[in-house]
Every structure is written in structure tokens, then in C-alpha cells.
């Protein structure tokens, strides 16, 4: 019995140590000496041979907790906003849908994944920083200078009407083989963003279908 008592005490101590002393997360200040950080963003010179060009400023956007573009509450706002009625062309394949997108397609399906254009429809709460900021952001995505000012905004923007709503269309072809057609529809308290983007040939190929898709939209909100 004494051996049993000893063993019992030992096991109890181990169990108490395990259950009662969960280490708190370390809150000490750490000092490290590290080599200068190498910019991990791809450039034309460090891409492998044959890899399509990637616009400067492009960034990990979704899929996973590290993606930084999804603002808090965006998924709920997206879910709460009624989806417009639309008729995407038959050769657009739904792909890349996330909780913060209203619609997401890729095309054409016969092309390799990195040669496909992407069509994304999103809705944002607020005004998304305004038209100029977004045009500059899109210019950055395709590798164009991002220093556009209000005075020259008109050179990039075409005013259109989508199902009775005023909208601004921006068509950009970047120097690194990336293109983007973007439409913003500013409404009180929210903005609809409709984007066609990808390698220039794929985007050029889809522009007519994208305009037809825009013309067919029927807002529900």
C-alpha cells in the first residue's frame, strides 16, 4: 500500500503540474539582430523563366487568416446586401468565391490557370476611399504609376449607367502584361466594385462579354 501511495502521489503531482501550470504566453521583450530583410515581392528580374509578369503592389488578398484585404465585418456586410440579378456568359466558370465576394468567375476555361482572366464583384461598406484612391490602387495593380491626381482623373474614367445607376468605368493596360477593367458604383453608404483583371490578352478577349454582363445587371438593393 505504501508503494501504491507513493505512486499515487507521483502521478498526482505530474497531473497537477500538467493541469495547473499552463505556461502563459511569453510577454518578455525580445531583442534580435537579423540580416536586412530581402524584399520578397517578385520583380521582373527574379521571376523564374516563363512565369507571367506580376504587377508591383499586388498582394496576397484572400484565402486564409494571413490575407490582409478582408476588413472586419466585410463578410457580414456582403452577406446582408442583396445580390443583383445577372447573366454571366456561359463560358465563365464560377471560381474563387469567398465570403467577401458577391460573384467570382474565371475565363476562358480552356486556358491555363495563369492565363485566365478573373471577374470579381464585391460590395463594400462606406465609400472605399473614393474614386481617385481606387483608380490609383488599380493603376498600381497593373504596374502603372499611382500618382494620378484629381485634375487628370477624367483621362482614366468613363461615366456610364448601369441599370439606372451612375457608375465609373476604368480601363487600364499595364506595361507588364496585366490589364484591368473596373467599375465602381457609389451609393449612399456603400460601393459596388466590378472587376475584370488578368493577363492583357485574356482581359482584352473578355472586354465585350464583360460590358454585356454589366449591361445585364439588375440591382436588387
Partner 1 sequence: MRPVFKFFSSLRLTVTLLAFSMLLVLLATFEQVQWGVFEVQKRFFEAIVVLWQYPAQWPHADAWQWLKVPLPGGFLLGGLLLINLCCAHFRYFRASWRKTGIVLIHAGIVLLIVSGFLTAYLQQENYMWINVGGQANFIESFHDRDLVFIDHTDPKTDTVVSIPVSRLDANQPIHDPALPFTVKTIFYYPNSTPGLRSQNPEMPVLPADHGVALNHDLTFARLPYNYSTEELNVASAVVDIEGSQGSLGKWLVSTMFDDPKTMPPIFKSGLPQTFTMDGHTWEVILRPRRTYLPYTIKLDNFIHQLYPGTTVPQRYESQVHLSNPTTNEDRPVLIYMNHPLRYGGLTFYQSSFAQGDSASMLEVVRNPGAPLPYIAVLLVGIGMALHFTLSLTAHLRRQSSSPRAS
43 near partner 1, judged by CB under 8 A: yes
Cα–Cα distance, 116 to 28 (Å, whole number): 48
Retrieve residue 203's grid coordinates. Answer: 482581359
Q: Choose between 118 and 181: whose C-beta lies nearer to partner 1.
A: 118
* Binding to partner 1 in span 164-193, by CB under 8 A: none
Cell numbers linked to 4:
501504491
80 part of the interface to partner 1, by CB under 8 A:
no
Q: Is 69 in the site for partner 1 (CB under 8 A)?
A: yes
Any contact of residue 66 with partner 1 (CB under 8 A)?
yes
Separation CA 116–CA 197 (nearest Å): 9
One residue of 81, 137, 153, 171 binding partner 1 per CB under 8 A: 137
90 binds partner 1 (CB under 8 A): no
70 makes contact with partner 1 (CB under 8 A): yes
Q: Which three cell numbers stand for residue 76?
A: 457580414
CA angle 214-97-66, nearest 5°? Answer: 125
Q: Which is nearer to partner 1, 69 or 161 (CB)?
A: 69
User: What residues does 195 pair with on adjacent strands?
Assistant: 120, 182
| Selected range binding partner 1 among 13-21, 154-162, 163-171, 209-217, rule: CB under 8 A | 13-21
Does 37 sit near partner 1 (CB under 8 A)? yes
Count of C-beta atoms within a 10 Å radius of residue 34: 5
Amino acid at each position: 500500500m505504501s508503494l501504491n501511495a507513493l505512486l499515487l502521489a507521483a502521478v498526482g503531482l505530474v497531473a497537477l503540474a500538467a493541469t495547473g501550470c499552463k505556461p502563459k504566453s511569453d510577454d518578455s521583450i525580445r531583442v534580435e539582430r537579423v540580416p536586412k530583410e530581402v524584399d520578397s515581392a517578385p520583380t521582373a528580374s527574379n521571376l523564374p523563366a516563363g512565369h507571367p509578369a506580376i504587377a508591383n503592389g499586388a498582394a496576397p488578398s484572400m484565402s486564409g487568416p494571413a490575407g490582409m484585404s478582408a476588413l472586419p465585418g466585410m463578410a457580414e456586410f456582403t452577406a446582408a446586401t442583396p445580390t443583383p440579378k445577372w447573366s454571366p456568359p456561359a463560358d465563365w466558370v464560377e471560381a474563387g468565391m469567398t465570403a467577401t465576394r458577391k460573384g467570382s468567375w474565371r475565363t476562358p476555361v480552356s486556358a491555363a490557370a495563369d492565363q485566365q482572366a478573373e471577374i470579381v464583384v464585391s460590395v463594400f461598406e462606406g465609400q472605399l476611399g473614393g474614386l481617385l484612391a481606387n483608380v490609383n490602387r488599380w493603376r498600381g495593380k497593373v504596374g502603372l504609376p499611382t500618382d494620378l491626381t484629381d485634375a487628370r482623373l477624367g483621362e482614366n474614367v468613363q461615366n456610364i449607367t448601369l441599370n439606372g445607376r451612375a457608375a465609373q468605368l476604368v480601363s487600364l493596360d499595364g506595361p507588364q502584361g496585366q490589364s484591368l477593367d473596373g467599375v465602381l458604383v457609389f451609393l449612399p453608404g456603400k460601393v459596388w466594385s466590378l472587376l475584370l483583371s488578368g493577363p492583357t490578352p485574356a482581359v482584352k478577349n473578355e472586354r465585350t462579354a464583360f460590358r454585356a454582363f454589366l449591361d445585364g445587371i439588375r440591382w436588387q438593393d
